[in-house]
Amino acid sequence: MPEPPSPPPAGRSVLGRVLPLLVPLLLLVAAVAAFVAALRGVHDQEDRILRERTSEVVLILNNALANVPASLRSLGVAARLGDSPERAFEAEARATPSATGQPPDVALVRMEGGTPVVAASLGKAPARGTRLAGQRAEAVRSALSNPQLTATTAFEEGGQRRIGFAIGPPTTAKGSVIYQETTLDPRVSQVSQQDAFHEIKAVIYATPQPRKDQIVIATTDETLKGDDVGRGVVPVGDKRWLLLTSPREPLVGSFATAVPWIILGVGIIGAALAAAVILVLLRRRDYALDLADERTAELRESLAALETAQSRLVLQERLAAIGQVAAAVGHELRNPLGVLTNALYLVRARVPEAEREAVGRHLDIAEREVAAAATIVESLLDFAREREPATASVDLADLLDEALSVAPPPAEIHVEREVGELPPVRADRQQLRQVILNLLTNGYEAMDGAGTLTVGARRVDGQVELRIADTGAGMDDETAARIFEPFFTTKAKGIGLGLPVTKRIVEMHGGTISAESEPGAGTAFILTVPVMVRPSP
């Protein structure tokens, strides 16, 4: 077994390697700190520019909405000064320029018994005689007592979203209100490069809080939220509209956005270069010591490999010698045992009837011991010979039934058979039968008195796995590690060759065998045999 490596010298300790790496580590920390500072600066500048753009949009909206009260005042003055307020209102409304070229959706509203009633209207405004209700009525009533412009929130009517504006005295005659409505387009407004706020996304709500049903104008279909969203307030008469903005692209420019990452990249590269230089110096310093350690390790590995090879060679020579001795002993003992068997048979036949019972007991003992000696001889011969298996297609389920009939369990032992549909295996039937019989008899002998022997088989990939488990006393780890060694046994009788022969037969078939055991919980032998592959037609 190779010796453990010796500890490194003091000059090659962990501290000696960590200290030189502090320089690149400090460079990396400085680069990260500069990156964070630059990134924060870019974010601050981005926020400042977004606030400026938001203020510009608020100013543009204020200028655009300033035309609404001016146009409504002109309509109110015309209705108040004309001989017929309705005709004067309609004439002035038709003459009012519109972005679409159509008359505006406006109405002249008067109070009748506390209810707003339309006296004249154009476009899609409520028709003459309509009694206003809901937000329209609230806006009209508010305009009667409020000299400035009043507005509704967005509301649905006829499948369209609309918003209304109203203005009353002193612009109009007492008790009269000019009311105008505008249809809101639910589609996203397109923004060109010439627009003042083409760099940002904007959503305007007719309420101080963002509500999807109150969107007046939107240049994006996204929901703007998060830390990078600008906020602005647009006063519309007695209402306050909310403006949310977000940059389409970095407002500070792509280069300014990339500066923090450039700083971080340069810092990382600098730290990596410093680390590389230090590592090269460390490797040069340690080269001679590492070379010596390498040669020492190779020498130790060579010695360990030599010891292992020598141990295997000694074991092979030992097994070969044991095999030769076993073969010689087996052949020499087979004939005498056969002679003894015949002699006992003749003696039993010549014993007088009167003495047959008394002498018969001794003859039975002699025959039993001769049979035991013959079994030992067969074990020695099986261990000595190494016959290549004559493989053919074997039905394992049928072979298991045959083995159980040849070696039935004692009366107090119950056998559980867990064998399903199995493919044929490629094996020497007689040799595989010998393996199964050996494992069955070992399982019977491992259980002192009553017990259960479980025989199970299943297909696992290209092999059939056979499991024979008993409920005996089990084995400790040391015993389990040696059960396949020749002449190792824990039985009172036997010479310890059954399992080594079994292992050799299984391995000659291209399979594997192993044992699982725990003291007090029984032992299970698991072996695998290749599936018989049918040739293609």
**Going residue by residue through the chain (537 aa), what tens digit of pLDDT does each one get?**
444 445 555 445 554 566 567 877 888 888 899 989 988 988 889 899 889 888 988 888 888 888 888 888 888 888 888 778 888 888 888 887 666 667 788 999 999 888 999 999 988 889 999 999 999 999 999 998 888 889 999 998 888 899 999 998 888 888 899 999 988 887 877 766 666 667 888 999 999 999 988 999 888 888 888 778 889 999 988 889 999 999 888 888 888 888 888 988 988 898 888 878 877 777 777 777 778 888 888 888 888 888 777 766 765 566 555 655 655 565 556 667 666 777 766 776 777 776 767 677 777 777 666 666 666 656 555 555 566 777 888 888 888 888 888 888 888 888 888 887 888 888 888 888 888 888 888 888 888 778 888 988 888 888 888 899 888 888 888 887 788 777 667 675 666 667 777 888 888 888 888 888 888 888 989 888 888 665 544
Tell me, what's the pLDDT at 244?
93
Tell me, what's the pLDDT at 131?
93
413-419 and 451-460 beta bridge pairing? parallel
Instruction: Return d(Cα 92, Cα 98) in angstroms, integer.
Output: 12
Instruction: Return d(Cα 206, Cα 212) in angstroms, integer.
Output: 10
Q: What is the dihedral of CA 61, 63, 66, 70, to 10 degrees?
A: -140
Number of domain units in the chain? 1
Residue 491 maps to a domain: yes
Tell me, what's the pLDDT at 5?
46
Tell me, what's the pLDDT at 346?
73
Residue 46 maps to a domain: no
Instruction: Return d(Cα 25, Cα 268) in angstroms, integer.
Output: 10
**Three-state DSSP class for residue 348:** helix
392-394 and 413-419 beta bridge pairing? unpaired
Tell me, what's the pLDDT at 383?
55
Tell me, what's the pLDDT at 177?
92
| Cβ atoms < 10 Å from Cβ of 31 | 19
Distance (Å) of CA 409 to CA 64, 203, 259, 441: 104, 88, 85, 8
Residue 382 maps to a domain: no
Tell me, what's the pLDDT at 522?
86
For residue 517, give the amino acid letter.
Answer: S
Residue 440's domain comprises 392-530
Tell me, what's the pLDDT at 110?
92
| Cβ atoms < 10 Å from Cβ of 377 | 19
**CATH code for the domain of 480:** 3.30.565.10
Instruction: Return d(Cα 465, Cα 443) in angstroms, integer.
Output: 17
Tell me, what's the pLDDT at 118?
92
pTM of model > 0.85: no
530 upstream amide cis, omega within 30 of 0: no
| Cβ atoms < 10 Å from Cβ of 515 | 16
Residue 73 maps to a domain: no
Beta strands in 382-521 (DSSP E): 392-394, 413-419, 425-427, 451-460, 463-469, 512-518
